[in-house]
Amino acid sequence: MQAVVLAGGRGTRLRSRIGDLPKSLANIGGKPLLEHQIVLAKQHGIEKVLILVNHAAEQIVEFCKQRENWGIEILCVDDGAPRGTAGAVLSVLDLLDDDFLTIYGDTMLDVDLTRFKCFHEKHKAAAATIFTHPNDHPHDSDLIETSEDGIVTAFHPYPHDPGIFYSNKVSAALYYVRRQALLAWRATATPLDFGKDLFPEMLRAGAEIRSYSSPEYIKDAGTPARFDKVCADFASGRIARASLASSQKAVFLDRDGCINVDYGHIDRPERFELIGGAADAIACFNRAEYRTIVVTNQPVVARGDCSLQDLRTIHNKMETELGRCGAFVDAIYFCPHHPDRGFIGEVEALKVRCNCRKPATGLVDEAVEAFNVDRSQSWIIGDSSSDVALAKRSGIRSILVETGAGGLDSKYPVMPDYTVTDLSEAAKLILTVHPILIDTASDLTAHVKPGDVCFVGGLSRSGKSVLSSAIAEVLRGRGFDAQVIAIDRWIRSVADREPTVMGRYDMNEIRKVLSRLVGVRSPETHDLPYYEKLGRVSHPRAEKITISPETVLVVEGAVALSLSDMVLHGRAHTFFVDIDEELRRFRVTREYSRRGVDREAAASIYSSRQEDEAPIVLASRARAEHCIQLRAIELIEAVG
């Protein structure tokens, strides 16, 4: 394979940074830009590089000699008068291989070129494959439109029609090109640019052009501000971390009810409305180097309420509105299927059971492979129990947001790792609070051994489940099997309750199950109940859990510490979570309000719990080895 580097630019705008050097020799991290490009190409099996030079050509030629051509075949050719990017390549057509990679001389990149090449070679009919990516300013960028399978259908230069929503897909000025496809254009008048002239002309002439979309780092370093940014990114390691040759951390986002207001089935762009703060949260993930990937069920397509083109327009609106706020998503994966029949106008071919409809893991599995995602460093965020079930099946941490369905759909008897109000709080949890939580949990569990039991107690809405999830996460990070057992699973159905907090739980059954779990001598599977918050109904044997003698149980709940006497001294570790009472009151009343209870009734519930629950729970505080004021909760709830 051959690479062509367009290194003839004068670099006039960079004089304040590079003096009289050609811009290809601009120093980034102690190495000229050209060397970064050639070393990358060599790493991915490219053994021939054609460098098109002009301004200060002798400096580039001499530099290559000094480096002994990096042990590969290097040819420097003066391309003469400025012809534009495509014109320069057309002028050396006879020197090109059948397929070649085109690199602009002022771009800094760290891209998995092998993946890019494999994609290009897979599509034999493509005249060229353009490396594309989203950016945080699509409104003033030249955009590319593609079909669902990545065939370029249109180029949309800036400025754009304000009445049209465009996909956030921008050319990164990196191309694989087939020489045969250029033969018909070799006599075309110059100057001729690839992006603005040649590719649009080829498309109009019927050529197939493909888009290869990737979040990897490739940036123009041709102005002082951009050059300084590239240098800073290189120094911080950001450039290397973005390569798909390295594993990536990701945030998988549900769409309806998480990113946008869920008005039921969103079947047209007019019904798409971002939830307040969602765009800013996604921008935070972007800046923190999380691959931000939407995974969404869209049965409106199977129902016949919305065509694939309509769905594409809805997603284009989402990308447009995110872009206006400086945010972007790296990819959108959707399931158009629905298993149930009987809808007027339904699409028969899509009425199937599939492996991509959440909570099936097909969409996540596809994204994990495409983006080389490290599941252990990633998150799934959504508003429904299917999102939480998806996370559990995928082996990824879950965050339930209380927007949209807020987890009250109860389709699946699962409990999230973390629960927050909305996507803004999810970003705050992941980027700011979670590291503090992990440090806290790590210190608290220094002496926990396999087979031990952690009991986490405290008043309702004090942060017990948050700390418990962090404890389990820390223990798993040490190689332990850790399972969170939420006492709230044993809340009685409302018709079966007895007075006081102890009467709200089936304490006999809790003790019976916990006794079995603590006493296992070999791996066993047990059934756990599930309490449906909205219907206030208990469902027995709703979820299965597998326990071994080495499993660390993390038992959490308001009355958890009252159970600590079931475990031998030395195997039990007891924690009580304190919280500012005004903050707790706010959290309790908000929880009941989202379940449909009016404000006055929610306040009344809080007051009654202060009488029949608080004294009993606070008395259990004396059983705790550690009392924790969970600062993390205050950080999540803090305004701004």
Q: How far apart are alpha carbons 383 and 392 in whole angstroms?
A: 15
Supply the DSSP symbol for 69.
G
Q: Is the dihedral of CA 88, 92, 97, 98 positive or negative?
A: positive
Residues labelled catalytic: 254, 256
User: 412 φ, ψ to 5°?
Assistant: -130, 135
Q: Using CB atoms within 10 Å of the CB of residue 606, give its burial: 0 to 12 exposed, 13 to 18 middle, 19+ buried.
A: buried
Compute CA distances 344 → 341, 347, 348, 581, whole Å. Answer: 9, 9, 11, 53
Q: Is the dihedral of CA 265, 269, 272, 274 positive or negative?
A: positive
Between CA 294 and CA 275, with CA 250 as vertex, the angle to 5 degrees is: 45
Q: Residue 441 is inside which H or E element, if any? A: helix 434-444
Q: How far apart are alpha carbons 323 and 321 in whole angstroms?
A: 5
Query: From start to end of 87-200, where are the E strands?
Result: 99-104, 107-110, 126-133, 143-146, 152-156, 170-178
- Specify whether the CB–CB gap between 542 and 528 falls below 8 A: yes
Q: Using CB atoms within 10 Å of the CB of residue 300, give its burial: 0 to 12 exposed, 13 to 18 middle, 19+ buried.
A: buried
Burial profile 74-94: b = 16 or more Cβ within 10 angstroms, e = fewer: bebbebeeebbbbbbbbbeee
Q: Check whether the bond before 359 is cis (ω within 30° of 0).
A: yes
User: 186 φ, ψ to 5°?
Assistant: -65, -25
- Specify whether the CB–CB gap between 420 and 404 falls below 8 A: no
Q: How far apart are alpha carbons 416 and 395 in whole angstroms?
A: 12
Give the distance, in angstroms, between the CA of residue 536 and the centroid of all CA atoms in the same chain.
34
Q: How far apart are alpha carbons 124 and 136 in whole angstroms?
A: 32
